[in-house]
Structure 1
């Protein structure tokens, strides 16, 4: 029989040793990430092919490769090329980037708070972005330039997280539970501000624009949006992946992490900043989208365990696939009526999350 002390030592070694776990789980990591990459690729091809104009899968792949200067020699009509490269592919890539940002941000937040029920929106980032976007729509700034909307949304997210961190510092309590409470308080305040703007919208057009944005969606997304968000999101994902070992140690508690050489305060600030950056950038071009950062990391954790060396990249890939698929469903399930992707995520994510909670409590997962 293995004693509880030996089990605890084994778990601590698996989570914190910098060399041995990589040798042990290297093939497992590659296998899991390989499956998720293939899944994401298939979902993106599916989403790019299906629509009012159906395009064969092999043509979709050939068009995408030709667009990125990989000549395939496959023949296709010019209409299909325009549909894929100018309409669907930018939308799908933006959806994948936003889904990856929300997925890995959720995994980071759940690791920092040691709570699988936490998501990036809980610290006020999404609400801050929503307030910025609502202000831009309310005052008609979007008519000046299409970039005012994502710019205002990102500025709102940035000001929100800075305010929350400032109040957290003033409280003189460094616990993550205090940060969560501050975030929830700011969330309620920002939601009230949004309600004021909605109630006082000068015309039906502004009201519809505000409500439409708050529900989240990828309509009319272009390559400019891809270029705008991809460097920040991909760079932040890469940086976050290097903190997997620190997050693993912090799962054991702050004191254990400090004794293992982790600068808990610095690591927490960096990871919170990365999560806020990715969420703010993503929400700035997509609108408010919930449940991705909550459900996806939770599912990945239940399937593959809490090791952040797998959890972080897997959550990014899983979030990307989930949101691209949700966007496809939003376009096609009630065609020609188009649902907002945020509505689809809520309709699908909420029941899945409740089911997983019930299964995990019964010990089935």
Structure 2
């Protein structure tokens, strides 16, 4: 009961933070105007919003899509992190362990250098190239690591590291050969929600809903899995099938998140680990809490990123790294002490 109450209060905090984030920017908008405009939008559609046209444009075309996208991306990365940590039975695992980030960065680099700027299905060709390469890399790593007994966790991690190293080297080589585009590539790899639209939100919305349903549905199975594969199999759980399905769905969800936001680290590592430290490892609650707190963490990071320096936006990946890096070191020290 206390957990559910805490989760409900956290959802209220998230909604309040979203409204607060909409107020911030070069033009300050009062919260009451934002709330009234959103209520009018829900009731009567965009034509029913009575505020000034410029204010309406800022709220609904500039800030709100960005904020919703940050919330969804943070939720996806955090939930994926919780699942990966359960599958690998390692609190240091995160959504990028199987080369997803490097694959996405490689695809984005190719698009920036070799493909003309264009939109396809409402999204930038860069985002689509990043998504395709991230998925392809994930599938390739998965099948290389697959054995007759199933997916070998150690081989999966090692193969992911190898792919990440090789692809990062190719990216560096292409940046040296095409220095005019190097800054665009570097900016993309730092992560940002700048200039995002409703098309990006729609792209990520359906996978987010699917991911929430799928992962929470398997929450009890993950509880059994973390007890050990042999014990899980003795209880009738098909561990091979569960690991395969969860790895593939999380790779898909992470690839979609990365394709629209760029590389944003530490969200899927830090958030679920801290929730586990405070509330334990019951995965039905852990996954729900990861969704909410991943959203809060990402929203706060993005708000800091666009408010820290007047007239200049810091890539949100830098903010999450500055926050997550020290926290990761603390977690690593605690983890090593527990091993002794």
Structure 1 length as normaliser, TM-score? Answer: 0.86
Give the drift of 1:175.
2.9
Structure 1, residues 116-158: CA drift from partner, whole Å, max 9, x if none? 1110111111111111111100113334655311111110111
Counterparts of 1:163 and 1:339, CA distance in 2:
34
Superposition pairs for residues 308-347 of structure 1, below 5 Å?
308-347=283-322
Query: Counterpart in 2 of 1:13?
Result: none
Counterparts of 1:343 and 1:156, CA distance in 2:
23
Give the drift of 1:115.
0.6
Asked if 1:129 corresponds to 2:100, the answer is no
Per the alignment, in what secondary structure is the counterpart of residue 142 of structure 1? coil
Cα gap change, 1:144 to 1:70, in 2 (>3 Å): closer
Cα gap change, 1:174 to 1:83, in 2 (>3 Å): closer
Asked if 1:283 corresponds to 2:258, the answer is yes
Query: Counterpart in 2 of 1:179?
Result: 156
Query: 8 Å contact 1:59–1:74 — kept in the other structure?
Result: no
Give the drift of 1:48.
1.0
Asked if 1:43 corresponds to 2:17, the answer is yes
Query: Counterpart in 1 of 2:90?
Result: 115
Give the drift of 1:39.
2.0
Query: 8 Å contact 1:99–1:323 — kept in the other structure?
Result: yes
Give the drift of 1:316.
1.3
Counterparts of 2:280 and 2:250, CA distance in 1:
21
Asked if 1:156 corresponds to 2:133, the answer is yes
Asked if 1:69 corresponds to 2:43, the answer is yes
Matched length: 334
Query: 8 Å contact 2:267–2:297 — kept in the other structure?
Result: yes
Query: 8 Å contact 2:22–2:59 — kept in the other structure?
Result: yes
Give the drift of 1:173.
6.7
Cα gap change, 1:263 to 1:328, in 2 (>3 Å): same
Cα gap change, 1:144 to 1:174, in 2 (>3 Å): closer
Query: Counterpart in 2 of 1:213?
Result: 188
Query: Counterpart in 2 of 1:106?
Result: 81
Give the drift of 1:224.
0.9
Give the drift of 1:161.
0.8
Give the drift of 1:242.
0.4
Query: Counterpart in 1 of 2:267?
Result: 292
Structure 2 length as normaliser, TM-score? Answer: 0.92
Give the drift of 1:170.
5.4
Residue segments in structure 1 that go unaligned for 5+ positions in a row:
1-26
Structure 1, residues 210-232: CA drift from partner, whole Å, max 9, x if none? 11101100111001111111111
Per the alignment, in what secondary structure is the counterpart of residue 120 of structure 1? coil
Query: Counterpart in 2 of 1:58?
Result: 32
CA RMSD of aligned residues (A): 2.1
Counterparts of 1:358 and 1:168, CA distance in 2:
29
Query: 8 Å contact 1:283–1:289 — kept in the other structure?
Result: yes
Query: Counterpart in 2 of 1:169?
Result: 146
